[in-house]
Amino acid sequence: MRTMGGFSQMKLAVNFLTIGLVILSLPCGSYTEIPPKPPGSLTVLPPVKPAGGPQAFPDAENSNLPAFTMDYARIQVPFEVTLWVLLASFAKIGFHVYHKITFWVPESCLLISIGLIVGAIMHSVHEEPPAVLSYNVFFLFMLPPHRTGVWILYAPRDRSSRTWEPVLWFAVVGTLWNSIGIGMSLYAVCQIEAFEVQDINLQENMLFAAIISAVDPVAVLSVFEDVSVNEQLYIVVFGECLFNDAVTVVLYNMFIFVADMPVVEPVDVFLGVARFFVVGLGGMGFGVIFGFVASFTTRFTSNVREIEPLFIFMYSYLAYLVAELFSISSIMAIVTCALTMKYYVEENVSQRSCTTIRHVVKMLGTISETLIFFFLGVVTITTEHEWNWGYIMFTLLLALVWRGLGVLVLTQIINPFRTIPFNFKDQFILGYGGLRGAISFALVFTLPDSIGRKKLFVTTTICMIMFTVFIQGISIRPLIEFINVRRTNRNLETINVEIHSRLIEHTIAGVEDLCGQWSHYYWKDKFLKFNNRILRKIPIRDNRAESSIVALYKKLELQNAMGILDTVSGDINAGSSIVPLHEEKKSSGKPKRKFVAADLMNMHDILSKNMYKIRQRTTAYTTKHSLPNDSRTKEILIRRHTSIRRSLGPGSFNGPNEAKSQKYFSLPPGKSLDSKFPPQRLRHTGNDDDETMSEMDYPSARSRFNQPSRSSSRAMLPLRRLNTLTEVPSSSVVDLVDERSGGRGAWGRGMSRLNSSSSDSRIPAPRRHHDPSNGPDNGSSGDHGSGDNGPEGEQQPLSPTPAWAAEPGDRDDSGTQKPLLRPQWKTRKP
Amino acid sequence: MGSRASTLLREEEIEEIKKETGFSHSQITRLYSRFTSLDKGENGTLSREDFQRIPELAINPLGDRIINAFFPEGEDQVNFRGFMRTLAHFRPIEDNEKNKDPTASEPLNSRSNKLLFAFRLYDLDRDDKISRDELLQVLRMMVGVNISDEQLGSIADRTIQEADQNGDNSISFNEFIKVLEKVDVEQKMSIRFLH
């Protein structure tokens, strides 16, 4: 162990040497280039040719053909940018060579420190900070990838978590609270004569407070992730990261307007509030629109897979730029755009494009984050400061106090609505985790020069950032450990935990269903319905009402597959504490580590378990419409029940190989599914293509595709068929596909196949056709859904989806189809 | 529907249930209306069939286990009291409940009761041990049919190995608690019941 440590220290030293070299090369390089405006340094360059003329050869008047030319001015900007990025990246490598550094000191601290060093060097040689640092550059090029990157890098693992409600609450209201509170009290502080800052008026104070209250706890997030604090806390901080800079930018724009006004009238206050909403909601609107258009575009990119990712990036960026154009919240725009696209695009683009998109976003996000903190360090040294003890100290103090107060008050308000209320420790960490970062830094530099105390503001902001990032950032980890904040056991170390947790989740889902707890998700449910009915039709290529479960499942598969890829290829980031893809911390990630590569199969177990879980959770969301409260539907259900049971009865005891089958669905010996249905099973595993399989096995089903009219299929409703349908539990079909494709490494293909087969059989269209005709046609079934495929239950054997589908678009079948599964369950009832 | 249900439930009954389970008045009436809507026989009790008619529960891999948990041993009917008693396991633990006087009997939603509920889902024969077979049954329900019996068997073996401390090749309740001690059971096994 010691030798290992020594070794990595050595490597670290080597790396720092490399960085040092780059640092050295940098000022030298820029020495020649930055001052191209003063003519003095231009003499260094060969005056042979005018800048911009790439043709060195055709210069006829030159006596000799120059053997060596140098035109630095031409490449200056990209050259510098590249060097800076490289430098920052080297620094990043350096940190991760020696893990203990990043464990105790957040990466942002290290980056700032290096920035400080570089800044000091540059300062000592009287070098200007690079032009890269113009603030347009920051807002137009560095912020967007950073923000989207945050979303991808730190997105919480559990999307279906019930902890999302407080996010907006803290992000929006919290930020407002902070900026107003800090602004007011700072103004009060300014009245104290001893500090000599009476010239700062209320508007400027408010403006400054808005800048200061932009919490940017990326560093905290990575700490949270390492120590795996409970999900709630994580999500709240994550949400703050994403949304509150949007709020801040809105406030900033508002106050900067107000600060110019000599007198603020009440009307302006109202206008300001209105503007707040316009800016915020406008940003979201643009995001949604662009996201939607992008999704629509990807509908047509199936033949140009190479540029698919490009569309995604360009549209997101466009959303950002357009939002900037109208000076509405561009961060909001790009985040919502990304979210909207994520929702639709992943189904259109190929797996490869998906992977590309993810990785590029990840890369851009990381590098811009690195650069931002790096520059923060550089600029700290190279700008002029105005130091005012009183003002700075009070700002630090007030920011802490107001943040603490805000968290306390806001949690008091929100706690009654929560399953698990935030306890005091949570609140403390939440308050303490209010680090300031990139946004404050950028905003304060964009302050117009008309503000008299700009330098003071800059200094104070930098102090604030330094203080929070260094002191709070470094101490938060020991603090969390010390006060023992509630943790979520993100690292499922034992199989026991894995299994039992899953059992618990199923149970909870079941009990929720049992209590009919749906109204909690009423609006989500409504939206999903609307989405499936109308919205999805436009952007999604294969125009089918795909069950959201299948979509989720697909997504999960993809993520897992990528997780495997990442670990297998030894992605450098995988080792880093700061940049795990969120899929890497999925529960499947842990067993992976434990079982190593040899037990790849066990991962598939866990995959399939995940699959079950997702189905259940989604069911829990969307059960509203499927509650069979209609008495006639219930009758049908019962009748179908009994008939299936009858039909199943005789068939269930003729299996020849009962011995090995007892575990399937935990049937008691002698009643196993396996023994009942050996032929289908074998066929499944032997066959390569699901599509053909289903055609072969269920020839009559094929006819359904062409016959939206249900009468014929109803006519051919023999009891025998009922028997077949229960034979292949739909979930098993899915599982098989999953397993096979997973085994072959062709996740994507497997999934798409599964998907297409299911979509074929789903055909939402027929159902809609029936709706009107159903009543007369099928008097006994009041519910159209059950009338459609209920009694016949034909969809069951074909498609894995229906049995899963409890989402609103298909709620009708789900309500009625699920009982078809009943026989299996019945039989194993003890 | 809801109003009809609440009229059927007598005040004193509500009070008793409240005392026993800790649910609020509105939660009880709400769940009672759910109870009556599930009760097809309209005889004030639920049978297994009534539960099985819930479509979401029907596709829940553990559906039957969950349903079973509602029925006391050997009985086929559950009344509202029993129904609520079972549901009470899933009530979130509130802060003011944590430091009640320790002499009072443990509330149904305590951590160990929650765990016991989960444990019972495995423990079919109620011998307070999860045997390999019992574990395997539950596993099979949860993972679907694509995993071979050998694999599943080895998973079960490993699971038991991990948890088993006294070498009886099964998981006792104490071992179960031990294994899950790092898991936030209070949060995981809680449902925010609607009011």
Q: What would the pLDDT profile of A701-749 be if each residue is shown by its tens digit?
A: 333 333 333 333 333 333 333 333 333 333 433 344 334 433 333 333 3
Contact between B147 and A608 using a beta-carbon 8 Å cutoff: yes
Among B89, B124, B149, give the residue marking a domain's end: B89
The residue assigned the tokens 């829940």 is: B60
Between A308 and A633, the more confident residue is: A308
Contact B176, B163 (CB under 8 A): yes
Same domain, A461 and A524: no
For position A40, what pLDDT does the model report? 35
∠ at Cα B99 (B98, B100), nearest 5°? 100
Residues 6+ apart with CB under 8 A from A353: A305, A308, A309, A312
pLDDT, tens digit (0-9, with 9 covering 90-100), for A273-310: 788 788 888 888 888 888 888 888 887 877 887 888 88
B80 in a structural domain? yes
Chain B contacts of A233, Cβ < 8 Å? Answer: none
The answer on A404 and A525 residing in a single domain is: no
In this structure, is residue B125 part of a structural domain?
Answer: yes
| More reliable by pLDDT, A149 or A700 | A149
The answer to which of A208-222, A306-320, A604-618 has the lowest mean pLDDT is A604-618
CA-CA distances (angstroms) from residue A74 to A82, A88, A636? 14, 23, 79
Q: Which of A423, A515, A732 sits opposite B144 (nearest CB)?
A: A732
Rg (CA), chain A: 31
Q: Tell me how far apart the alpha carbons of residues B122 and B132 are, in angstroms, rounded to a whole number.
A: 10
Q: How many CA atoms lie within 13 A of A628 on its CB side?
A: 35
Q: Is residue B74 part of a domain?
A: yes
pLDDT score recorded for residue A365: 83
Residue closest to A432 by CA, chosen among A396, A476, A483, A394: A476
- Alpha carbons within 13 angstroms on the beta-carbon side of residue A42 total 11
B183/A816 CB distance under 8 A: no
Does a structural domain hold residue A461? Answer: yes
For residue A529, the distance in angstroms to the closest alpha carbon of chain B comes to 18
Q: Which CATH number does the domain housing residue A419 bear?
A: 1.20.1530.20
Q: What are the chain A neighbours of B177 within 8 Å (beta carbons)?
A: none
Total H helices, total E strands in chain A: 41, 0
Is A829 close to B48, i.e. CB distance below 8 A? yes
Q: Is A644 on the interface with B (CB under 8 A)?
A: no
Mean pLDDT computed over A519-541: 59
Indicate whether B96 belongs to any domain.
no
C-alpha gyration radius of chain B: 19
Residues A453 and A527 in one domain: no
Residues B111 and B185 in one domain: yes
Tell if the CB–CB gap between A605 and B56 is shorter than 8 Å: no
A782 contact B CB<8A: no
Compute the average pLDDT of residues A800-825: 38
The answer to whether position A179 is within a domain reads: yes
Residues A385 and A530 in one domain: no
Residue A579 lies in a domain: no
CB of B101 less than 8 A from some CB of A: no
- The answer to whether B77 and B42 are in contact (CB under 8 A) is no
CATH of the domain at B16: 1.10.238.10
Region A60-74: mean pLDDT is 74
The shares of helix, strand and coil residues in chain A, as percent rounded to the nearest 5, are 75, 0, 25
Q: What is the pLDDT of residue A535?
A: 62
Q: Which of B44, B61, B89 is the last residue of a domain?
A: B89
Cα-Cα-Cα-Cα dihedral of A792, A796, A802, A806, to 10°? 70
Q: Note whether A207 and A256 are within 8 A (CB).
A: yes
In a shared domain, residues B125 and B85 = no
pLDDT at A754: 38
Contact of A210 with A248, CB cutoff 8 Å:
yes
Whether A197 and A261 share a structural domain: yes
CA distance A431 to chain B (A): 21
Residue B66 contacts A where some CB pair is shorter than 8 Å: yes
List the structure tokens of A287: 């995001």
- Count CA atoms closer than 13 A to A701's CA, side-chain side: 27
Whether A642 contacts A804, CB under 8 Å: no
Confidence of residue A213 (pLDDT cuts 50, 70, 90): confident
Is A508 close to B188, i.e. CB distance below 8 A?
Answer: yes
Find which of B38, B117, B143 to mutate to test the A interface (most A CBs within 10 Å of its CB): B143
Distance from CA of A604 to the nearest CA of B (A): 8
CA atoms of B120 and B117, how far apart (whole Å): 5
Distance CA A383, CA A737 (A): 61
Nearby residues of A598 by Cβ (< 8 Å), 6 or more positions away: none
Residues A516 and A449 in one domain: no
Q: What is the spatial distance between Cα A349 and Cα A270, in angstroms, rounded to a whole number?
A: 45
* pLDDT means over runs of 10, chain B (195 residues): 52 83 84 83 82 76 82 82 86 64 66 87 84 84 70 78 82 86 77 70
Amino acid symbol at A36: P
Please compute the mean of the pLDDT values over residues A59-64 and round it to a whole number: 58
Q: Which of A542, A569, A591 is the last residue of a domain?
A: A542
Surface of A (387-426) touching B: CB under 8 A: 418-421, 423
Strand partners, A47: none
What is the pLDDT, as a whole number, of residue A703?
36
Partner-chain contact A497 B180, CB within 8 Å: yes
B133 is a domain residue = yes
Is residue B24 domain-resident?
A: yes
* A473 and A536 housed in the same domain: no
Between positions 12 and 31 of B, the ones with CB within 8 A of A are 31
Same domain? A397 vs A525: no
Contact B137 A496 (CB under 8 A): no
Angle, alpha carbons A697-A666-B86 (nearest 5°): 125
Task: Indicate whether A169 belongs to any domain.
Answer: yes
Question: Looking at the structure, do residues B180 and B127 belong to the same domain, yes or no?
Answer: yes
Residues A415, A515 within the same domain: no
Instruction: Identify whether A330 is part of a domain.
Output: yes
If asked whether residues A400 and A515 sit together in one domain, one would say no
Instruction: Provide, as residue numbers in chain A, all residues whose Cβ is less than 8 Å from the Cβ of B138.
Output: 499, 503, 666
- Is pLDDT larger for residue A172 or for residue A20? A172
Contact B9, B32 (CB under 8 A): yes
pLDDT at A119 over 80: yes
Q: Greater confidence, A365 or A659?
A: A365
| Count of the separate structural domains present in chain A | 2
Q: Which residues of A touch B155 (CB under 8 A)?
A: 495, 602, 605
B33 and B69 fall within a common domain: yes
**pLDDT at residue A793, as a whole number:** 38
Residue A447: inside a domain, yes or no?
Answer: yes
* pLDDT attached to residue A149: 74
Burial class (CB in 10 A: 0-12, 13-18, 19+), B180: buried
Residue ranges with strand state E in A236-285 = none
Nearest 5°: the CA angle A689, A693, A696 is 145
Mark whether B84 and B113 lie in a shared domain. Answer: no
Contacting A residues, span 150-169, partner chain B, CB-CB under 8 Å: 162
CB-CB: which of A419, A510, A620 is closest to B190?
A419
Residues B114 and B85 in one domain: no
Least Cα distance to A312 among A363, A246, A365, A361 occurs for: A361
Q: What's the number of domains chain B is made of?
A: 2
Tokens of A476: 């938060």
Measure the CA–CA gap between A800 and A523, rounded to whole angstroms.
27
- Check whether A457 has a pLDDT greater than 70: yes
The pair of structure tokens assigned to A244 is 């509150």
Are B56 and A510 in contact (CB < 8 Å)? yes
The range of the structural domain enclosing residue B171 comes to: 107-189
Question: For residue B147, what pLDDT is reported?
Answer: 67
Chain B residues lying within 8 Å of A501, measured CB to CB:
183, 188
Dihedral angle sign, alpha carbons of residues A502, A153, A144, A404: positive
Q: What is the 3-state secondary structure (H, E, C) of B92-125?
A: CCCHHHHCCCCCCCCCCCCHHHHHHHHHHHHCCC
- Residues A322 and A420 placed together within one structural domain of the fold: yes
How far is B158 from A480, CA to CA, in rounded Å? 33
Residue A779 lies in a domain: no
Asked if residue A618 has pLDDT above 50, the reply is no
> Taking CB atoms and an 8 Å cutoff, what residues of chain A touch B27?
none
Q: A612 and B136 in contact by Cβ < 8 A?
A: no
Best CA proximity match to A157, nearest among A266, A232, A259:
A232
A300: left (phi over 0), alpha (psi -120 to 50) or beta: alpha
Query: Averaged over A389-417, what is the pLDDT?
Result: 85
Reported as a single tens digit per residue, the pLDDT across B66-115 is 888 888 877 888 888 888 888 888 888 776 555 554 555 677 778 888 88
Rounded to a whole number of angstroms, the distance from the CA of A640 to the nearest CA of chain B is 11
Start-to-end Cα distance in chain A: 55
Q: How confident is the model at residue A528 (pLDDT cuts 50, 70, 90)?
A: low
Q: Chain B residues with CB inside 8 Å of A487's CB?
A: 182, 184
For residues A762 and A615, the answer to whether their CB atoms sit within 8 Å is no
Helices (H), A38-173: 39-42, 72-97, 99-104, 107-124, 135-137, 143-154, 165-168
Q: Among residues B89, B121, B153, which one ends one of the domains?
A: B89
B50 inside domain: yes
Tell me which chain B residues have a C-beta less than 8 angstroms from the C-beta of A829. Answer: 48, 64, 68
CB contact under 8 Å between B118 and A637, yes or no, is: no
**Concatenated DSSP letters for chain B?**
-HHHHHHHS-HHHHHHHHHHH---HHHHHHHHHHHHHH-SS-SSEEEHHHHHT-HHHHHSTTHHHHHHHHS-TT-SEEEHHHHHHHHGGGSPPPHHHHTS-TTSPPPTTSHHHHHHHHHHHH-TT-SSEE-HHHHHHHHHHHH-TTS-HHHHHHHHHHHHHHH-SSSSSSEEHHHHHHHTTTS-HHHHT------
Give the residue ranges of DSSP H helices in A435-521. Answer: 438-445, 454-466, 473-483, 495-515
Residue A572, both tokens? 């450098």
User: Range of A531's domain?
Assistant: 505-542
Closest CA to A156 of A106, A229, A244: A229
Q: How far apart are CA A318 and CA A321, in angstroms?
A: 5
Nearest residue of A to residue B90, measured between CA atoms = A508
Place of tokens 């120059």: A66
Taking the C-alpha atoms of residue A748 and residue A759, their distance in angstroms, rounded to an integer, is 16
pLDDT tens profile A262-272: 676 778 778 87
Asked whether residue A322 is assigned to any structural domain, the reply reads: yes
Nearest to A180 by CA among A248, A231, A236: A248
Chain-chain contact of A660 with B124 (C-beta, under 8 angstroms): no
**Residue B68 is assigned to a structural domain of this protein:** yes
Rounded distance between C-alpha atoms, residue A113 and residue A101, angstroms: 13
Chain B residues with CB-CB distance to A665 below 8 A: 140-141, 145
Distance CA A554, CA A747 (A): 9
- Please give the ipTM for the structure prediction: 0.88
The distance in angstroms from the start CA to the end CA of chain B is 16
Query: Is the Cβ–Cβ distance between A490 and A430 less than 8 Å?
Result: no
